[in-house]
Amino acid sequence: MSDNPLRDAIQEAIRDNEVILFMKGTPDQPMCGFSARTAAALQAVGNPFAAVDVLPDPRIRSELTAVSEWPTIPQLFVKGELVGGCDIVTEMYETGELHETLGAEKPAEAEAAPAPEPAGPPPLGIENRLG
Amino acid sequence: MAMATPDELKARIEAAIPGAEAVVESADNVHFSARVRADAFAGKSRIQQHRMVYDAFAEGELGGAVHALQIKTEVP
């Protein structure tokens, strides 16, 4: 154990959950359009996944970025490895790779694309996915 | 970079990744999308490819002048 319990907890969560999404808000109540799209893609695949809201404490985000060396939120980890953020996950959903990565049955070609639109409102113009 | 433009981002990305060809678009010069094609991406994971694009920018630029950068990478 290090003397950084929050970083330890994040690393433990990544290790202990086969599929884990760090996002702004929750899958049912995303607080950012990019997080919403990523969670919607995972929900469309249908396999269960863990989700962590980074908003309650800014240290969650800074520690996560220190662990992953990835600048933006959301971040999807599968089997302990960073898979990507919104752009990569959306692209993988459209190609069917996300199903494969998550061990789900690939959808029939006709049903695969396009990526699902999140139910929530679209991202606001002032949104800052990096901030 | 005080005020970012698509041309500036294109030049940055192409300078950082030898042989890359970038198409950068922005409606407001704050949120950008970049399509980057490069031989250098061959054999790399998407995470690694996107990191190469992020590396074109200095600490603080992403999230600063460049509020959001959407990336799509391709191997020619």
* Tokens read off for B26: 């922005």
- Residues of chain A contacting B28 with CB distance shorter than 8 Å: 125
Q: According to the model, what pLDDT value does residue B2 have?
A: 61
Q: If you average pLDDT over every residue of chain B, what do you get?
A: 92
Q: Give the pLDDT mean for A94-107.
A: 90
Residues in Cβ contact with B60 at an 8 Å cutoff, skipping those fewer than 6 apart: none
- The pLDDT assigned to A89 comes to 97
Nearest to B68 among A88, A92, A128 (CB): A128
Q: Residue A113 — pLDDT band, cuts 50, 70, 90?
A: low
Predicted confidence (pLDDT) at residue A104 exceeds the cutoff of 80: yes
Confidence band, pLDDT 50/70/90 cuts, at residue B59: confident
Whether the predicted pLDDT of A15 surpasses 60: yes
Chain A partners within 8 Å of B54 (Cβ): 71
Rounded to an integer, the average pLDDT of B14-27 is 96
- Chain B nearest C-alpha distance from A122 (Å): 15
- Count CB atoms within 10 A of the CB of residue B9: 26
- In this prediction the pTM is 0.82
User: Is ipTM strictly over 0.85?
Assistant: no
Cβ contact, residue pair A71, B68, below 8 Å: no
Strand order across the B68-74 sheet: B21-26, B31-37, B68-74
- Among A10-19, A106-115, B38-47, name the one with the lowest average pLDDT: A106-115
